[in-house]
Structure 1
Amino acid sequence: MPSILRSGFMENLVPKAAPTRYSDTELGEFKQLILSKMDIAQQEYKDLMATLDGSLSNDDNSGAYATLEDGAATLEKETVYQMAARQKKFMEQLEAALVRIGNKTYGICRATGKLIRKERLMAVPHTTLSMEAKLSQN
């Protein structure tokens, strides 16, 4: 029996521990994905803010708009404000993900402590919960 142990055969039967974090190479891939999403998000945020700036400067207080048109314009502004707020929150979440990459905790579920599947992180790179944890929230 000792010859089997020396050959390493028995070592292959012992299950390997699951990885506890992503490799530096994988973290670099995630960082590139997040940076590209951040660029897009920043441009969309700038566009939304430009829309708001344009709509605020085009306000006509001469009474030319009817009440319904005023209501529609107000609703449109509120919708753009909400979209801008969501975009800003998304950018903050991406920034937080970059911090986690920097301290090598990116991809670790905050509820279970297990690695979040790579496919999930590619789809939702700012997530901090695995699907298991996310589904158990509901």
Structure 2
Amino acid sequence: MPKPAAKSSAEKGVDKKFIEEVRELLQEKKESLLIKLNQWEDTSSPSGLKEMGDIADIASELNSEALTSVLTENEIETLREIELALEKIENGTYGICEGTKKKIPLARLKAIPWTRFTVEYAEQMAKSRNRAGGYRMDSLSAYPTTGMDVDSLD
């Protein structure tokens, strides 16, 4: 007996009009991120540390560059998620949780169009990560403590 064909996103409850709106929104967000990343790459060059003033200026500049780098990593991750969402639209699996195979509520898709998981499954994954020893950045225990001798840093 032949296997029934997989249902597309539209057949599982995400209507075509919504899919088209999301596709457009994802494309716009993707273009916006690509422009921003290209501008960042154009302006990011090794700092002219010798042209800077005192150590506080240098530290401030390095801190700013580190923050920009972190933000860019997050934006690159968002770009990857957008690409995956666009692929899912193309192959008819958009709006289906990758963990539970259940339909992701429209409210969640509207809030985060590139999401791959239901809220419940995402929370379950976060709890699993925490139990597996992931650091919680909202507490001091997230920072490893070692017996460091500050005087030996010279």
| Pairwise same-fold verdict (TM > 0.5) | yes
2:69 is the alignment partner of 1:77: no
Q: CA deviation at 1:111?
A: 1.4
State the SS of the aligned residue for 2:56. Answer: helix
TM-score (norm 1): 0.73
Question: Structure 2, unaligned stretches of length 5 or more?
Answer: 1-10, 128-154
Instruction: Give the number of the structure whose alpha-carbon radius of gyration is greater.
Output: 1
Matching residue within 112, 124, 127 for 1:136: 124
Residue 22 of structure 2: aligned partner? 30
CA RMSD of aligned residues (A): 2.0
Distance (Å, rounded) in 2 between the aligned partners of 1:34 and 1:78: 28
Residue 111 of structure 1: aligned partner? 99
Distance (Å, rounded) in 1 between the aligned partners of 2:57 and 2:14: 54
User: Which AA in structure 1 matches 2:59?
Assistant: G
Q: Deviations over 1:57-109 (max 9, x none)?
A: x61425x5212211111111111111111111111110111001100101100
Question: Structure 1, unaligned stretches of length 5 or more?
Answer: 1-18
Distance (Å, rounded) in 2 between the aligned partners of 1:87 and 1:50: 16
- Paired residues, number: 116
State the SS of the aligned residue for 1:61. Answer: helix
Note if contact 2:95-2:116 (Cα within 8 Å) is conserved in structure 1.
yes
What is the percentage of aligned positions where both structures have the same residue? 20
Higher relative contact order, chain-length normalized (CA < 8 Å, sep 6+): 1
Distance (Å, rounded) in 1 between the aligned partners of 2:100 and 2:119: 10
Moved more, 99-108 or 26-35: 26-35
Q: CA deviation at 1:46?
A: 2.6
Q: CA deviation at 1:21?
A: 5.0
Note if contact 1:111-1:129 (Cα within 8 Å) is conserved in structure 2.
yes
Q: CA deviation at 1:134?
A: 1.9
Name the one with the larger helix percent: 1
Distance (Å, rounded) in 1 between the aligned partners of 2:71 and 2:40: 8
